[in-house]
Structure 1
Amino acid sequence: MSPRVRASRGFSLIVVLMLLLVVSVLGLAAAQNALLGERIARHDRDTEVAFQAAEAALLDAERDLLGPNDHAARRLCLFDGRDVSAFVADCAGTGARLGLCAAAPVGAKPAWTQVDFNADAGPSVAYGRFTGQVYATGAGGLSVRAPRYVVEALRSRGGGAQGVLHSASAATATHVFRVTAIGYGPREETRVLLQTTLAKPSASPGCAGASSSSS
């Protein structure tokens, strides 16, 4: 075999090896892209599940605060825009006062930032605790655990008629209620936190201070 033929075969082998290397690199990149796409899709799904759970907790809190709620554990009478004595500092309430947080002092961090939502025995309220509602959890793309929430009583700073002076005394103060809810995805580490503010201008029927209409 002539030296020229051997050199040609040697060059062909190098070209084939280079092509195999290029194909291998392209295949690895495609596999990585597919894996990344699957992770992104799973993250989006998990986040959506957690978001829906947090929204459900906000609705459950709204039922807890505003009604209608005929569950035996209902506590509608504790939510009164003029009487927030049921709300406890540091969200330390228990029993019917569970998850009711007094407003933090001026300049301090909001009460909800100090709450450990992950502790089942902590100060937050599990979905359905005071309404009897049930939130499906478990395998199959569902939330790993039920969503939770806390409620803060905040001094109302608005809502008055323009050009009219309003009393600033504590006796005439009104309050709104800020709800902070957390929802979980199929994995514990996937969480979504949502907030809303609810106003309750009058007490619920059957509570002290509720207005009654005469027929």
Structure 2
Amino acid sequence: MLFLLIITIAASFGIRRATLSEGITRNQLDYEISRQAAEAALRDGERDLLLVLASGTTAPGAICARGDERPIPERTGPPHFGDDCPRGQCRFPLAYYDTSNYTNAPPTNPQPWWPTTNKGGQWGDNTVDDAADCAFKGAVPIGTFTGTPTIRGVARQPEYLMEYLARGDDVVMRITARGFGADIRTETVVQSYFRPFLK
């Protein structure tokens, strides 16, 4: 009887350990999926910034057209960038960023890529399904302007925001992207700085 009890305890311990290892592996896989989705959205944002199309022309496979938003005039201040991030294009004065504080309640001057809930971020509702939705504000779902295919196996398509930053003579675009794993609770946010206006 004692021997049977020892075997039962050992088997229970082994099953618990295997279940825990499986959960850790699944979480790691889901994180990798969300990270890769975020990276794909980041690259899609860079492609979006480089789009040079005639006004009203849509890239192959894209839902919406950038039109007269491209090319962005160098050094003179871009059109269609604003503090409510029209079509994913954000612009705030430098003083806004300088006094931005996440820890205040409510936060002071929320940056567009902060979490939407209680933090004032500009992430969209991710429902750009046809040309009628092209006047949206907030983040851009992958492929909306570039025609990049959607990603399979994720709970929600990745999206990105673009910020026009100008400090002195230096004009830089900051792209922030977020991706999701197979579980909507797994979310990864990545950023890059991009200079499409080099002389």
Q: Which residue matches 2:81?
A: 87
CA contact (8 A) 1:80 1:200 kept: no
Q: Deviations over 1:109-161 (max 9, x none)?
A: 42321325362256110101111121232xxxx112211000111123xxxxx
Deviates more, 1:36-45 or 1:70-79: 70-79
Out of 137, 141, 148, the residue aligned to residue 133 of structure 1 is 148
**Closer/same/farther in 2, CA of residues 32 and 135 from structure 1, 3 Å limit:** same
Structure 2: stretches of 5+ with no match in the other structure: 101-109, 115-119, 128-136
Question: Counterpart of 1:112 in 2: which secondary structure?
Answer: coil
Deviation at 1:174, TM superposition (A): 4.1
After superposition, the Cα gap between the structure-2 partners of 1:175 and 1:117, relative to the gap in structure 1 and judged at 3 Å, is: same
TM-score by length of 2: 0.72
Matched, 1:77 2:70: yes
- The residue type paired with residue 99 of structure 1 is G
Q: Distance in 1 between matches of 2:78 and 2:196?
A: 12
Q: Is the 8 A contact 2:124 2:140 kept in 1?
A: no
Give, as a single letter, the amino acid of the residue that structure 2 aligns with 1:73. A
Residue 123 of structure 1: which of 123, 138, 142 is its match?
Answer: 138
Q: 1:80 to 1:143 in 2, by over 3 A?
A: farther
Task: Compute the RMSD of aligned alpha carbons.
Answer: 2.4
Structure 1: gaps of 5 or more residues? 1-15, 157-167, 204-215
Report the CA distance between 1:21 and its aligned residue.
Answer: 2.2
Identity %: 30
Rounded Cα–Cα distance in structure 2 between residues aligned with 1:120 and 1:49: 18
Residue by residue over 1:75-113, the C-alpha shift from the partner in whole angstroms, topping out at 9 and shown as x without a partner, is 56253442234211142x2xxxx1111136021242321
1:98-177 paired onto structure 2 within 5 Å = 98-103=87-92, 105=96, 106-108=98-100, 109-113=110-114, 114-115=120-121, 117=123, 119-121=125-127, 123-137=138-152, 142-156=153-167, 168=168, 173-177=169-173
Counterpart residue type for residue 19 of structure 2: L
Aligned partners of 2:51 and 2:70 also within 8 Å: no
CA contact (8 A) 2:89 2:163 kept: yes
* Correspondence for 2:17: 33
User: Which 10-residue stretch deviates more, 120-129 or 108-117?
Assistant: 108-117
Q: Is the 8 A contact 2:31 2:181 kept in 1?
A: yes
Instruction: Tell me, in whole angstroms, the C-alpha distance in 2 between the residues paired with 1:200 and 1:81.
Output: 9
- Give the structure with the higher percent helix: 1
- Mapped contact 1:63–1:131 kept (Cα < 8 A): yes
Q: 1:111 to 1:117 in 2, by over 3 A?
A: closer
Tell whether the 8 Å contact from 1:81 to 1:176 is kept in structure 2 after alignment: no
Query: Partners in 1 of 2:84 and 2:122 — Cα distance?
Result: 11
Distance 2:112 2:156 in 1: 23
May I ask how many residue pairs the two structures share in their alignment? 163
Amino acid at match of 2:149: V
The 3 A distance-change label for structure 1 pair 35 and 68 is farther
TM-score (norm 1): 0.67
| Partner Cα separation in structure 1 for residue 148 and residue 154 of structure 2 | 16
2:4 equivalent among 20, 28, 33? 20
Aligned in 2, Cα 1:89/1:118: closer, same or farther, shift over 3 Å? closer
